[in-house]
Structure 1
């Protein structure tokens, strides 16, 4: 089974205070062989990028309404008249609030949904084929 990657480079704003943000280069990545997850990589001026992985469904929902709890929370809002998606991340190293352009995130999500529509993620994992093979093998061995 062929697997596809849907990537998008974008610039996020790291919110330092209500009046101050700094741009952060980032990458959104979706892999059809990991169909339930999205991956965000941030380049924050350190030797190593920061990687976060969370449910694609969480990002889809967060474009439209506040969702998530714990380590990842996402909600839509307006900043200076622009539609943005806020992503709040919490880790032992600290908290971060990032803003991403809603049209850019929505367009990228649309590409992932065209590749793997909601509800078809399980078919991407090849579990049905593996299970059928396993059952065929076990039945061959029965006497």
Structure 2
């Protein structure tokens, strides 16, 4: 749950929150960083899920959907246990978190600044509180959207 629930409110009408374009570093190995950008998007109709598009200079962009709560918790503590994990960097370093993405095809570690992401996530919780994020969710549409592969034709 969100750490400051006293100031959260459930949405009364869908609000639009601009996406967050965030500069981050992909760790290619222990010493090599590749600066890149990622766009974080929030949809009030699916508030529990944040869509993150990693914008590659060369090659295709990479699209991941991850839990909003996982991202929020990962700013201050270890979060996640599957394909997506996030945790803060060591104290004394610039305020940032590690984001690890794993699948059969991809394994990528990113370092991202916590300040802008924290502020943006807080804005999502002002639109839809943690307590209200599952209210009115159409589970069939949610699962279809979550599992949809843009390369696979729909029937």
TM-score range, shorter chain: 0.7 to 0.9
Q: TM-score, normalised by structure 2?
A: 0.74
TM-aligned CA deviation for residue 12 of structure 1: 1.1
Does residue 42 in structure 1 map to residue 42 in structure 2?
no
- The corresponding residue for 1:95 is 107
Which one has a larger percent helix, Structure 1 or Structure 2?
1
Q: 1:91 to 1:23 in 2, by over 3 A?
A: same
- Within the candidate set 23, 30, 38, 2:35 is matched to 23
Q: 1:64 to 1:93 in 2, by over 3 A?
A: same
Q: TM-score, normalised by structure 1?
A: 0.79
CA contact (8 A) 1:4 1:33 kept: no
Which one has a larger percent strand, Structure 1 or Structure 2?
1
Q: Which runs of 4+ in 1 moved over 2 A?
A: 1-6, 45-48, 78-81, 122-127
- The corresponding residue for 1:123 is 135
CA contact (8 A) 1:15 1:97 kept: yes
Q: CA RMSD in A?
A: 2.1
Q: 1:83 to 1:19 in 2, by over 3 A?
A: same
Alpha-carbon distance between aligned partners in 2 of 1:83 and 1:124, rounded to the nearest angstrom: 36
Q: Greater Rg, structure 1 or structure 2?
A: 1
TM-aligned CA deviation for residue 48 of structure 1: 2.8
Q: How many residues align?
A: 127
Higher relative contact order (CA 8 A, sep 6+): 2
